[in-house]
Amino acid sequence: MNRAMKPLAYYAHSSMRQGNQIEVPIPYTIMGFDMPVFLSFEDIYEFINLQEISANCILVYMKYLEELCRINGQAEEFVFVSPSLISPVRTDTEDAGRRERADNLLSFLRDAPKERLYLVPHNRGRHWVLGVIDPWEDLVLYFDPLREKKRDDFTELMNMALADWKITTGEGIRRRRDCKTKFSYRPCPLQEGSVECGYFILGFMRDIVLNGIDALESKQFYTSEDLDLIRGEWSGH
């Protein structure tokens, strides 16, 4: 086990098995409003043991990355959007659910300055992918650790949100509203197992923030040391 995770593992086993939770405040810049997430023993256990991870685990790391951006003077360069605001849920009717999720995303994009990127983890059904939105370029970069070309709901969601953004900003006057948003599949490290996608999305966001979009193109895989680094940062936060 990663040395940095041992104190958290000890705490989880000694204090959380009876239902105690860890409260982590998530700022409005990620959720659209201030609210905490509560990490359960199951969340911690799954993360420590490289099992499938929850949206709450991803939110905690996004909070860490946002604070890192602020420390590094990058607060105006990146916005992290909670996956819970845009990922589908089973109770959605297709149109109504997508409309609500597109409105959630639009609330983040509405006052977007040029050259700011929006990092949007998306769960398409037990698999995590990452979208990076550049609204002024009408462009969505798409990173899938399985390197599959299955966008379906995600594509429609991005088209809907960005079409509305063009109207609210006046960009629809300069560009046809029904002009489809450009999607670009980008090279990224390949997930070899069946459950690591969430950790890869954390790694993608980390690499983009620290080294730029093109940094992912040079990596074919994430090593166990890469994943240990990410999990150590997560547990220490």
Q: Which two tokens stand for residue 32?
A: 């659209």
Q: How confident is the model at residue 61 (pLDDT cuts 50, 70, 90)?
A: very high
Of 98, 184, 117, the closest CA to residue 144 belongs to: 184
Length of the chain equals 237
Query: For position 175, what pLDDT does the model report?
Result: 55
Q: Are 93 and 151 in contact (CB under 8 A)?
A: no
- Distance (Å, whole) CA 222 – CA 191: 8
Over 60: is that where the pLDDT of 176 sits? Answer: no
Residue 217: pLDDT over 60:
yes
Per residue in 68-82, pLDDT (tens digit) is: 999 999 989 999 999
| Residue 99 vs residues 49, 136, 201: alpha-carbon distances, Å | 36, 21, 25
What whole-number distance in Å separates Cα of residue 173 and Cα of residue 165?
A: 12
- Give 109-167 pLDDT, tens digit per residue: 988 888 899 999 999 888 999 999 999 999 999 999 998 877 678 888 999 999 899 88
How far, in Å, are 139, 147, 198 from residue 52 at the CA level?
29, 18, 7
Of the pLDDT bands very low, low, confident and very high (cuts 50, 70, 90), residue 89 is low
